[in-house]
Structure 1
């Protein structure tokens, strides 16, 4: 039996990270070579490389696999990437499902690291590509803007409730109004920073002008999509992008049973959230390809939100192709920008299955 590949699974927490190095042979047997725990600081990163070097006896491919745990994995991922290593970052739910499929019910750092090492050994995972500094900064701006917007909405609802109650408290009302003004001020400041960043970067500015020729898409929606997709660099096709955003379809049929078909929502909710208003505008502003798509879906389903979600998906896919081809949107172009997805004969078949989403 010949060994084929080494895999290092890493379970990261705030203070430390547990590691497991495994090797897979040509019969697909995964053997654990060693496990260890390191401090989640730069000296721990260097110690990890030395530890791997001691246990990697053969000149075989090596991949580091870790979960996306908030921000705690980022420094280690950047360190490994800059050292020329192959790094793959999984969503936590994917790693969890793999462990469950292997019949593992217990959970601790060591078990999780072993599970990640096995995933990396058995599967051909996509390599992680870090975003550029501009996109990284843009992501901070857009996510902070969303947080402030959510605070603003919650505070406005609280203010509305107090103002319409039987007993009003002037001090609390004054505080809430002051908070609303502060949130609004900070959001405007962030919008200026986002605009300055996009205008100062030639590549981002060119894509912005090309894509935002679509009525309904604006500076903020463009910024969120660009930041959350890392400039579409990780996507080889539109189908993978649709899945990443949670617009992929889940069917529920078995024998005579026919359940409800729905979108998975197992993806980036920030993308679905930001495309809600652009979809409404795209239909309202009399843009034929969006309006006709909405009308076709609504005519069959009699549910408006199904039509709007179909338009959201279409907007996202159109942005992808405009970005990749570096073309400006032409409203007179009547053909589908994106080809049919696998398993569908036409774009409408997928759109018809989309249901009302929660923002």
Structure 2
């Protein structure tokens, strides 16, 4: 005879996209059995989030029961939902996508849909003890916007520079077009300089950041922009428990391809935050230049 299912904990998995998010409510009993209670999609907007909170409250009922919300750190689309739950003092956790993918695969789930991902996250929320999510501070968030803007301007300048080279290498080229492109590059240079000043100002106004930047800048090849990118993209490394997680998040983890006598190519995964890799790559090149000159 099957024993009665007595809920001891609720897990709410949230698969968040740009316009919508899927929510799944699951429950676990004292024998560690997990049961799916409900699955529904909502608009990723203030109105949709309010509807979700009411919906979750309807399905998560009982006295002295804990409810754990879990979502992935994908882009920025999860932030409003996570902040809304955090402001209500709910137990909300945000994990790296790779960790969620490995867990869902371990459950034997092969189907890949938003609803299925939400169910996998709900099961994980029930079975795992996960840390509370802490929102990034407003000052850190604004600094991250500045560092990302600086990176985007650099990429745009490089594109225009390559287009200018292609224009000049052609059989004929328009002087008017070249003049316009040069003006665009000059404007981007002014915006880049302004970005750097704003980044330096933001760091100077924060004593903790200023102290850390001053210490780390003693490393040859590492400048204020590199440090600003690192601390903003990792929220001062609060997402990580050890250096291996940071290496994996940055896409610097080594992937080996070897089986028996066959030895394939070993390379880094590049599955992670490309902005961190870019910042560290430029610093590494600078260190190589400095080391070469001193030889």
- Check if 1:32 corresponds to 2:67: no
Secondary structure at 1:137 match in 2: helix
Correspondences of 1:1-359 after superposition (within 5 Å): 3-58=7-62, 59-92=64-97, 95=100, 99=104, 102-105=108-111, 107=113, 109-286=114-291
Q: Distance in 2 between matches of 1:242 and 1:233?
A: 14
Q: Deviations over 1:16-66 (max 9, x none)?
A: 332110012354432111123333333433332332222223433322122
Q: Distance in 2 between matches of 1:41 and 1:132?
A: 21
CA contact (8 A) 1:10 1:64 kept: yes
Query: Shift in Å at residue 247 of structure 1?
Result: 1.7
TM-score normalised per structure 2: 0.87
Deviates more, 1:19-28 or 1:176-185: 19-28
Q: Deviations over 1:246-276 (max 9, x none)?
A: 2222233333333333222222111111112
Q: Deviations over 1:145-179 (max 9, x none)?
A: 11110010010000011112111111221121111
Describe the shift of the 1:286–1:110 C-alpha distance in structure 2 as closer, same or farther (beyond 3 A).
Answer: closer
Query: Shift in Å at residue 240 of structure 1?
Result: 2.0
Describe the shift of the 1:219–1:11 C-alpha distance in structure 2 as closer, same or farther (beyond 3 A).
Answer: same
Q: Distance in 1 between matches of 2:266 and 2:160?
A: 36
Describe the shift of the 1:198–1:106 C-alpha distance in structure 2 as closer, same or farther (beyond 3 A).
Answer: closer
Deviates more, 1:44-53 or 1:222-231: 44-53
Secondary structure at 1:285 match in 2: helix
TM-score normalised per structure 1: 0.72
Q: Distance in 2 between matches of 1:92 and 1:12?
A: 12
Query: Shift in Å at residue 277 of structure 1?
Result: 2.2
* Structure showing greater relative contact order (alpha-carbon pairs closer than 8 Å, 6 or more residues apart): 2
Q: Distance in 1 between matches of 2:6 and 2:122?
A: 18
CA contact (8 A) 1:4 1:60 kept: yes
Secondary structure at 2:126 match in 1: helix
Secondary structure at 1:275 match in 2: helix
CA RMSD, 1 decimal:
2.5
Q: Please, which runs of 5 or more residues in structure 2 have no aligned partner?
A: none
Q: Distance in 2 between matches of 1:258 and 1:2?
A: 52
CA contact (8 A) 1:129 1:234 kept: no
